[in-house]
Amino acid sequence: MIRVGILGAAGYTGGELIRVLLGHPEAEIVFANSESNAGNPIADVHEGLQGDTDLCFTSDMPFDQIDVVFFCFGHGKSEAFLKEHAIPERVKIIDLAQDFRIKGEHDYVYGLPEMSREEICTARHLANPGCFATCIQLALLPAAQMGLLTEDVSVNAITGSTGAGQKPGATTHFSWRNNNLSIYKAFEHQHLAEIRQSLTQVQGKLDASIDFIPYRGDFTRGIFATAVVKTDKPIEEVVAGYKAYYQNAAFTHYVDKAIDLKQVVNTNKCLVHVEKHGQKLLITSVIDNLLKGAVGQAVQNMNLMFGIEEKTGLMLKASAF
């Protein structure tokens, strides 16, 4: 069994990670750390887990008893935590925040299996991609491999309210979010840096801008993204390139017809579809922001890092109706 520790376990990602790992046949949760909830039953906070676990949150962090630790902190807290706490060298780290996603003076591997599977398999420290970043990269990586990103790319993506985290805020309050739609961080979203990093790595050079407009949706889970790329390449060649790129991917699938969000909610899948309108290629990509966009991908990466079957614990059915 893979012995697991979770830091920041009381938030949405922490709760979703616990839910997935409770159904993982080769993983055991040793501790779920939350300073503010120490001593409280996990199911009292993550109420969907009533009857599934008797575990309680703890303020302890027995790193000597685990094989891997998941960081479910807010952005910017992982690096600060590591400066104050010693984690044994043998313990693998999977960070769900953005602290180590950009290459620098650290040994964290960027954990997008559809791009870096071999590196993930031998990684000791892993930076899990962001939710928007995952959805948009999976839409554009095959196009980058074909060298199609030579002109500015227009991207629009809408995310569910869980993407904003569990802490209440003005734009997450039900009465504001319900039946509402808004734009935020236009052209400046923090995930753009990792998106450009990956696309540059695959295409070799990226002079085009990624003009990304994020939207807040009036639903709880999922990301629906569209990207427009100018190209004169025939649609048949583009489709063949997408199918070839994802032919061995465990969870990302090219679909021949138009896709919708409910096909992926509650799963670790990403579905991608492309169509051609004149010289414009329309690419659609959908994921569940808490699973393929966060926790599901993190567990997928854990499976790869420990040499077990990639899909273990992640065969989840979509909430399609």
What does the pLDDT read at residue 294? 97
What does the pLDDT read at residue 168? 66
pLDDT digits (tens, 9 = 90+) for 189-226: 999 999 999 999 999 999 999 999 999 999 989 999 99
Its pTM stands at 0.95
* Average pLDDT per block of 10 residues along the chain, 321 residues long: 97 95 98 94 95 96 98 91 95 97 96 98 98 98 98 97 71 80 94 97 96 95 97 98 98 97 97 97 98 98 98 91 70
Q: Which residues are catalytic?
A: 131
Measure the CA dihedral 50/54/59/63, to 10°: -120
Please report, in angstroms and rounded to a whole number, the separation of the first and last CA atoms in the chain: 35
What does the pLDDT read at residue 272? 98
Domains of the chain by start residue, with CATH = 2-128+293-305 (3.40.50.720), 131-287 (3.30.360.10)
The DSSP H or E segment spanning 42 is helix 42-45
Beta strands in the chain (DSSP E): 2-7, 27-33, 68-71, 92-95, 109-110, 125-127, 153-159, 182-183, 210-216, 223-230, 252-254, 270-277, 280-287
